[in-house]
């Protein structure tokens, strides 16, 4: 015969918050919130593990893209903008990391990050938006 205290210890606990579970057998979570929180915690752990093994260049390119995308609104008026080099570098933009590069007919080197391309000048960076430059 088992004592009440032993039965208490055997009570299953929620996978997420660790509280004792009541109700049907085989229950793993207190409620749907704990279940969702548990699953999203697992997902974010997997994602961070995955990121650990991604080459450093991938994350630098991703950061570059996010920064370039901040200027997207400015391309409504023009398909070429100039930004202060110092400003964009301060945001974490790394000019060494791109996906493709090409030299145009004016001998200007353009580096590309998805639908943005940029070329470097002394104090500024020219940014173009649109994939058609690559065709
Ligand atoms: Zn819970």
Contacts 24+ apart (CB under 8 A), 7-13: none
Query: What is the per-residue pLDDT for 112?
Result: 94
Query: What is the per-residue pLDDT for 8?
Result: 47
Per-residue pLDDT tens digits for 4-13: 444 445 679 9
Tokens found for residue 20: 């004792």
Distance CA(36)–CA(32), nearest Å, equals 6
In the chain, the N- to C-terminal Cα span, in Å, equals 80
Distance CA(91)–CA(2), nearest Å, equals 64
Rg (CA), the chain: 26
CA of 3 to the centre of ligand 1 (A): 26
Contact 55, 42 (CB under 8 A): no
CA of 24 to the centre of ligand 1 (A): 15
Contact 114, 62 (CB under 8 A): no
Query: What is the per-residue pLDDT for 53?
Result: 73
CA of 2 to the centre of ligand 1 (A): 26
CA of 67 to the centre of ligand 1 (A): 39
Residue 91 vs residue 51, higher pLDDT: 91
Whose tokens are 């088992």? That residue is: 2
For residue 40, what is the DSSP state? H
Per-residue pLDDT tens digits for 99-115: 999 998 999 999 999 99
pTM (two decimals): 0.60
CA of 121 to the centre of ligand 1 (A): 56
CA of 113 to the centre of ligand 1 (A): 43
For residue 134, what is the DSSP state? G
Distance CA(31)–CA(14), nearest Å, equals 9
CA of 39 to the centre of ligand 1 (A): 12
């Amino acid at each position: 015969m088992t004592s009440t205290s032993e039965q208490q210890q055997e009570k299953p606990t929620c996978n997420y918050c660790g509280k004792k579970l009541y109700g049907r057998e085989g229950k793993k979570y207190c409620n749907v919130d704990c279940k969702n929180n548990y699953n999203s915690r697992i997902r974010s752990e997997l994602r961070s593990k995955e990121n650990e093994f991604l080459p450093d260049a991938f994350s630098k390119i991703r950061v570059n893209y996010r920064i370039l995308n901040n200027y997207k609104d400015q391309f409504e008026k023009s398909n070429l903008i100039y930004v202060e080099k110092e400003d964009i570098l301060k945001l974490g933009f790394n000019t060494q990391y791109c996906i493709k590069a090409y030299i145009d007919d004016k001998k200007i080197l353009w580096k590309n990050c998805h639908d943005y391309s940029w070329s470097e000048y002394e104090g500024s960076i020219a940014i173009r938006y649109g994939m058609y430059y690559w065709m």
